[in-house]
Every structure is written in structure tokens, then in C-alpha cells.
């Protein structure tokens, strides 16, 4: 077993790292049972509490699975499962929110490039329906924002890449409350304008313009975020 005695002060963290290394290296294969807390504590030279804390953290992330009366097993992880460890993204602070929007700018423009290789008529139908619902929800900015974000999710989902889809779900959940505030402050005009431009370019299969409009849309959103933050500060 790839385990060595703990020397560092941060015992629980080191236990976590060693268990993770065994999983990543495939020394402990998916669906296999890992050693008991007692066995791990003895092998590592640490207390059972330190082992339990590390194991519970991994169970919470979906990397390990605890079966009542049966022990603890390595989860049968899919690519989507690895995004569980990014959940702290949901608690991103105000000081980092602009960085998250900048990251979204990279993702959104990249999505258009991938969509250019995989687009179908069904994508246009879904986006057109979404745009009509946006126009009909102007009296409720919370609902408008939800539909606004759904527009971008539809593009991400249409690519057919599970990593992109799941990353965008995390971004969406983290940004929704902030986006509602921005929509209330600056209105819906900008989102409607750019979504129409992006949609029309996609309908014409003009992916160069679609990417350009998406980048402008994200850039304007980032400017609004910074303006809003400065007003709060």
C-alpha cells in the first residue's frame, strides 16, 4: 500500500493527500474497498480522528463512498464527479467576482468556437424560444436573469462535452445572485441586444460574428460588474 508515516504538522491534510494520491495513481481502484480507519491510522502513524476527518472530507466530495456496516469504497468516478471538489466556487467573495466573470468570458467565447463544429437546427430553435421568454419576463428581473443564464447554458449543453456542461452549471450557480443585482441596476437592454446579435449570427452560421458578439457581451458585463462594485465600495 502506498502509505508512509506522517511527518507534517497538518496531519489531517496530509492524510487526505495520501489517500488522494492512492486514488489518483489507481493503487486503489474505483469500487475497491479502502483499509479501515484503524488500519490507516496504524500505517500512517496518526490518530483515528485524523483519518476520520480526511475520509469524511473525501466522502463529502463524492470521491469515497461509505457503506453502513460494509466499510469505505472508492467511488466509481465519472468526469462529472470531479467537479464536486469545485463546489467552494459557490462561496466566492466579492473581491474575486470579477475574476469569475473574466473566466466566464474565456469559456463563453470558446463555447462558440466548439459550437461551430457541432451545431444543429435544434440549437437555434431552443435559443429562439429562450429569447422570446426573455422578452416576456421583463417585469421580473429574477426570472429574466434565470432565462438569460439559461441561454448560455443551452449553448454549453449543445456542445456535448460533460466537462464544459458541469463547469458552466457551477459558474451559473455562483453568479446568479450577483447577476440579478446587475440586471436590476443596469436593466435588460444590453442582454437582449447581445443575445439577439449572437442568435442571428448563429442562424446565419456566421460563427466569427457570433464569437465577436459573445466577447463584447461578456466584456460589457464585466464593466457593469466593476461599476456596481465601485458604487458599493
pLDDT in tens, 88-142: 454 455 667 788 889 889 999 999 999 999 999 999 999 999 999 999 999 998 8
Q: Rounded CA gap, 152 and 103, in Å?
A: 14
Distance set, CA 165 to CA 71, 126, 128, 192 (Å): 33, 16, 20, 23
Residue 120, C-beta contacts closer than 8 angstroms, at least 6 positions apart:
158
- Asked if pLDDT for residue 40 goes beyond 80, the answer is yes
Please tell me what DSSP assigns to residue 160.
T
Cβ-contact 226, 98 below 8 angstroms: yes
Determine how many CB atoms are found less than 10 A away from the CB of residue 109: 18
Name the 3-class secondary structure at 165: helix
**Region for 147 from its dihedrals, namely left if φ exceeds 0, alpha if ψ lies in -120 to 50, beta otherwise:** alpha
Residue 186, C-beta contacts closer than 8 angstroms, at least 6 positions apart:
224, 228
65 phi and psi angles, rounded to 5 deg = -130, 125
Q: Where are the alpha helices (DSSP H) in 160-188?
A: 162-186
Q: Which helix (H) or strand (E) holds 72?
A: strand 71-74
Q: Which of 75, 93, 98, 73 is nearest to 85 (CA)?
A: 75
The pLDDT score that the predictor gives to residue 179 is 83
DSSP 3-state percent helix, strand, coil across the chain (nearest 5) = 75, 5, 20
Average pLDDT, the chain: 85
pTM attached to this predicted model: 0.65
- Asked if pLDDT for residue 230 goes beyond 80, the answer is no
99 phi and psi angles, rounded to 5 deg = -65, -40
72 phi and psi angles, rounded to 5 deg = -120, 135
Query: Between residues 37 and 63, which one has the greater pLDDT?
Result: 37
Cell triple for residue 77? 468516478
Cβ-contact 170, 87 below 8 angstroms: yes
The pLDDT score that the predictor gives to residue 229 is 62
List residues bridging with 185 in a β-sheet: none
Question: What percentage of the chain carries pLDDT values higher than 90?
Answer: 50
Amino acid at each position: 500500500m502506498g502509505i508512509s508515516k506522517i511527518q507534517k504538522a497538518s496531519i489531517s491534510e496530509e492524510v487526505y493527500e495520501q489517500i488522494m494520491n492512492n486514488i489518483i495513481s489507481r493503487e486503489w481502484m474505483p469500487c475497491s474497498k479502502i483499509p479501515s480507519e484503524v488500519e490507516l491510522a496504524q500505517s500512517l502513524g496518526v490518530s483515528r480522528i485524523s483519518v476520520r476527518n480526511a475520509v469524511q472530507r473525501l466522502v463529502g466530495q463524492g470521491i469515497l463512498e461509505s457503506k453502513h456496516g460494509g466499510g469505505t469504497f472508492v467511488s466509481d468516478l465519472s468526469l462529472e464527479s470531479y467537479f464536486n471538489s469545485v463546489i467552494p466556487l459557490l462561496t466566492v467573495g466579492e473581491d474575486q467576482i470579477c475574476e469569475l466573470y473574466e473566466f466566464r468570458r474565456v469559456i463563453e467565447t470558446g463555447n462558440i468556437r466548439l459550437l461551430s463544429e457541432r451545431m444543429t437546427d435544434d440549437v437555434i430553435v431552443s435559443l429562439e424560444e429562450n429569447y422570446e421568454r426573455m422578452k416576456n419576463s421583463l417585469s421580473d428581473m429574477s426570472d429574466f436573469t434565470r432565462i438569460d443564464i439559461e441561454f448560455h447554458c443551452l449553448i454549453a449543453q449543445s456542445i456535448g462535452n460533460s466537462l464544459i456542461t458541469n463547469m458552466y452549471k457551477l459558474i451559473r450557480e455562483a453568479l446568479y445572485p450577483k447577476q440579478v443585482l446587475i440586471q436590476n441596476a443596469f436593466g435588460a437592454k444590453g442582454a437582449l441586444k447581445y443575445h439577439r446579435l449572437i442568435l442571428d449570427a448563429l442562424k446565419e452560421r456566421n460563427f466569427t460574428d457570433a464569437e465577436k458578439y459573445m466577447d463584447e457581451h461578456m466584456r460589457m458585463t464585466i464593466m457593469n460588474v466593476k461599476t456596481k462594485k465601485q458604487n458599493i465600495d
